[in-house]
Structure 1
Amino acid sequence: MACCGDASGWAKVGFICIFLAFGLQSAAFLTNYWMVYNTVKDLFDIRVGLLWYTNCTSACATSTTPSSYHSLFFTLAKILEGVTIGLFFIIVVIYAFYVLADRSRTRATAKSIIILLVTSELFPIGGIVLWILQIDFPYFLAWSAGMSMIATGLAFFSMLCLIPDLKEYPYYNKMAILPVDNNFDDMQYRKYDTKKNTYVDQDKLDREPKRKPHLKDPYSMKDSFMDDEIDRKALMVTPSRPPRYDFLKQNLYPLSTKF
């Protein structure tokens, strides 16, 4: 997938899935078809949701859910489904930065999204289970709870889409400042080695790990090529004046031959 930056195709599919999951979970929370009570001749037509209650037995009237339905499991299911919406919204924002912003696309961000997705999936599952346990005859489960189940499945698939990124995507430090040479393209010359966690040259002549020093090889104790270059230049420097014994030899020896 060439659109939306350099993120992998799986990451983009995962972002679409979690965005749809957020929309479905919000719609499920706001609709009033969590449980219904219908008869064949529509003598009773009651729809109960987490927030709203509709009675179409004689004339349809919508109001907030009566307190007679607010059992312990009802309240817990409502809280868990509401927390799920908040977690999905946070994940959508972080996932959007991961896909669209290069500097936010790191391995730590991917791991954080996976952890949040796994945590957020536990809340709707628990809410649906509690909701089913509190349903009494003649009510039965309706499609609003089914939308929440579908949203949970999309969130789980979105989590699976990030697993290939942890293994295959070439993460690197976007904040690092690389040396620039005007004579050639630096990004083509250097490549990122995921195993060494650093930039290496293609010809493998630069940024190689230093060999371990050995006691029998004093030359290997040198820190770098620059230290060797400084040592060689120091050997090439000639003294400003001859040593003391050369000065005595040149001035006293001729006098000794006269006597």
Structure 2
Amino acid sequence: DARFLPPALGGLPREDAVSFLPQLVTLESRAFLAALSRLLERRQGREALFTPAQLLVAIHGIEISAGPSPTPSLDQVKAAIQACLNNRRYFGKEALALTLENMKQMTPLPKLFMWTVICMSRTASELGPFILGLLREITPKVWGAREQWQGFVMCCKLMAPASFPLLAELSPEMLAAAAKRLPRPLLLNLKAFATGERCQLAEMQRRRVVEVVDAAAAKPPAPKPTAEAAAAAAPAATTAAATTSGATEGSGVVDNGTDDEVE
């Protein structure tokens, strides 16, 4: 029973403690926080089993179950990560930054990497400049990973207008893909940034941003289907929705076309 694990954690070697993490993240909130203290604090003169960054990275490495299984669910792992992010006693600015630094070097990136970046951008605003620098570094890495790319675009949206220089530096292909997932008002503000006096982009880059934004913003919204068309499309829509849900579930990013939600 995982409820009996926290008191025993202090006497375990780190390798054994890591093997128990999947069980620990299934604990209710109070018991999980008790386990955190056992893992992160010195006991009887012994070094702590983990530094905060080591523990948070290890939680991201937990195998996630897609159905009935002994392994924890996506929601349980996300709840454990969120509990860590909310516990600023252990997980301060330096620990959070080090966590992202360590994870960005992994190939592939952990499933919940961008979900965690988004959460940090909301709960630790002092990390804003660091996160923008991180996004710039990992752009090529997330471009080829659909779920991570969705999270990248969502993070840029949430951090606008501070993210405008980053968006403006994207390749034409990347910027066009991002523009499809950004709301029109934000795109127009991005265009204003690119054409403004304070923008330090080269003239060619400015024109490229304007062209991409104009093309994306000019597209009319999809027409509302008639009642007959909606009824005919219902079965196909149900199938498509199920497929999309399965594709995005692993990252926790809701794919609703505008990337404005994180579960």
TM-score range, shorter chain: under 0.3
Structure number with greater Rg is 1
Structure having greater relative contact order (Cα 8 Å, sep ≥ 6): 1
Q: Write 1 or 2 for the structure with the bigger share of helix.
A: 2
Structure with a larger share of its residues in strand? 1
Q: With structure 2 as the length reference, what TM-score do the two structures score?
A: 0.22
